[in-house]
A and B are shown apart, each in its own frame.
Chain A
Amino acid sequence: MSDGMQELQALVNDYDSYLNRSFNDLWSKVLPDPAALDAFSVVGALLSRQVTLSSQLARSPAAWNGHSAPLFLRAQVDLHITVAWILCDLADRAKKYVLHGLGEEKLLIEQYKNEITENPDTHHREQMEKMIAIKSDWVGSQRNEWMVEVNLGHWAQLNTHGMAKDADCETMYKFAYKPFSQAAHSMWPHVSVYNSKHCKNPLHRHHLIPELFDAPMDVDFLYRSCKYVHRTYESFVDRFGLVLDGPMPLEWWDAYFSSDVEGSDSAESNGSNEA
């Protein structure tokens, strides 16, 4: 293995370990309100999801490029806005989030049932019946299905921009959520750059033609991912008044790249780098 590959492997391993430790540290310090356990379940799951996304991206260096990384980063920014907004009014907003999710599943169950009614001989019937059973159990475990409302609008009754403004992260919405959404939704600003090139023939008016590019790997995408974990951690720290034992994500990152790292975890094991 080349030196470069070894360094990369060390970064992935160290970052992944750090995420595990810091997540456990952070969540162990959150004291759920016994009267609002569901709300804590929501933000806890979102926290886990944020860390998982970053960890999964870290473990896939081949995806640290303009084609793939924005798919992770868009999801992370979206998640951060969601969790930051919920934390502003934990019990009420977490409940909305859960009820919307239950309603979406109820609608999907009904659509499966309708599909079976309309096409009773479909090859997928058995699969769909299993899905109905699994999803009905999931919904029923939380709420009687007949009580579940279906909300066809946005769960927060507010769009993402509105949520970001409310949660004081509008800058993140403008400069991260929107640009990464272009990649996630395959919009023109993305595909015209990452999936097209100019034909060099002037007789064709230099039109754009599709091209398969290898986008260069850039560790900056992992840095962004780390930054969004940092922002989510900050939301928890601020909301619940926590103090972590170890460094926050960006502090860990800075320490990792500013010190002469020779072995794994050396950045965090250096006392001077502790937050």
Chain B
Amino acid sequence: MNKKAKKGVLSDHQRKGKLLIPPMMQLPNLVETSFVDTKIPELIWISGLFNWTDDRSAVKSVIEFQLACQRATNSEQIPSLSFLSNFDRLSADQKNAILSDSECVQWFELLRKALWHQHALLERYPLAFIFQDRQDFDRDEAVIRLKEDVQDLFDRRSHHATKVQTTAVVGMMAAGKLILNSSINFPDPNRVFDAPDSPEARMVASFVRASLNAGNNMDTDAIVAARWVDDFWKQAFKLEGCS
């Protein structure tokens, strides 16, 4: 008799009644998430910055602005501002402190210039507090710009999406929201920008994707995030019909 038993298809799956469960889904506490559904609305402001300014300005504004906000609010307890919804979790006092802090204010012009369309189109935009009253705008152009910001994130392995995710994660690290164990060898994230096809860039890209997968904004309060995420997609859907 042939000792090598023939393996059936999907033999690595666990059978529960009529259901075949894949190996990964057998792990306890596994939660299914969607980058498109949950992360695009959070990273849309960084995507906009990369699309409508140069890379250097985008990186600096994301990181320096959130560090300045942290200093202005004089609180290390504020959540990571790499995620757009977390601006909604700032108190009125904290927002006022940001609005009157010169280090923060110096970024406003760049942010407004790059992100005017997001503010113009989206109600309850978490960064609305840094804009003045909504002014007349070209709606068609604003929609085109927003579509580009969204479309460029759909493939999270694209160069644009990798730049956005890397900047978000480096921003979290700079603000002390993500602390790496010293044993982790994190390559130079600049390689994503100056040598995107290099092995180091690929390692960075892999690390940042895993970091963003790991938790829901790395904070304990996902309610505000969920509200913005739902709100964003509902509003986005109504901006234009199907095509």
Which A positions have Cβ atoms within 8 angstroms of B?
199-206, 209
Contacts and interface: CB of A to CB of B under 8 A. Distances in A.
A121 B154 CA distance: 60
Interface string B34-52: 0011000000000000000
Interface stretch (B25-33, B82-90, B232-240): B232-240
B172 interface: no
Contacts, number: 28
A209 B150 CA distance: 19
A83 B241 CA distance: 52
B75 interface: no
A142 B200 CA distance: 80
Nearest to A209: B242
B146 interface: yes
Nearest to A205: B36
A205 B154 CA distance: 8
A132 to B, nearest CB: 38
B242 A202 contact: no
B239 A205 contact: no
5 contacts: A201-B241, A202-B154, A203-B237, A204-B236, A206-B154
Interface string B217-243: 000000000000000010011011111
Given A203-B239, A204-B237, A205-B36, 11 more contacts: A200-B243, A201-B147, A201-B240, A202-B147, A202-B154, A203-B143, A204-B236, A204-B242, A205-B37, A206-B154, A209-B242
Interface string B143-187: 100110011001000000000000000000000000000000000
Nearest to A200: B243
A204 B237 CA distance: 5
A171 to B, nearest CB: 13
Nearest to B37: A205
Contacts of A209: 242
Contacts of B239: 203
Contacts of B242: 199, 201, 204, 209
Nearest to B154: A202
Nearest to A174: B9
A199 B243 contact: yes
Contacts of B154: 202, 206
Interface in B194-218: none
A209 B241 CA distance: 11
B190 to A, nearest CB: 29
A154 to B, nearest CB: 16
A203 B243 CA distance: 10
Nearest to B34: A205
A205 B240 CA distance: 12
A202 B71 CA distance: 36
A201 B37 CA distance: 15
B233 A205 contact: yes
Contacts of A202: 147, 150-151, 154
Nearest to A199: B242
A44 to B, nearest CB: 37
A209 B242 CA distance: 8
B70 to A, nearest CB: 32
A159 to B, nearest CB: 12
Nearest to B235: A203
A198 to B, nearest CB: 10
B37 A203 contact: no
A200 B240 CA distance: 11
Nearest to B146: A203
B195 to A, nearest CB: 29
Interface in B122-162: 143, 146-147, 150-151, 154
B147 A203 contact: yes
Contacts of A205: 36-37, 233
A16 to B, nearest CB: 40
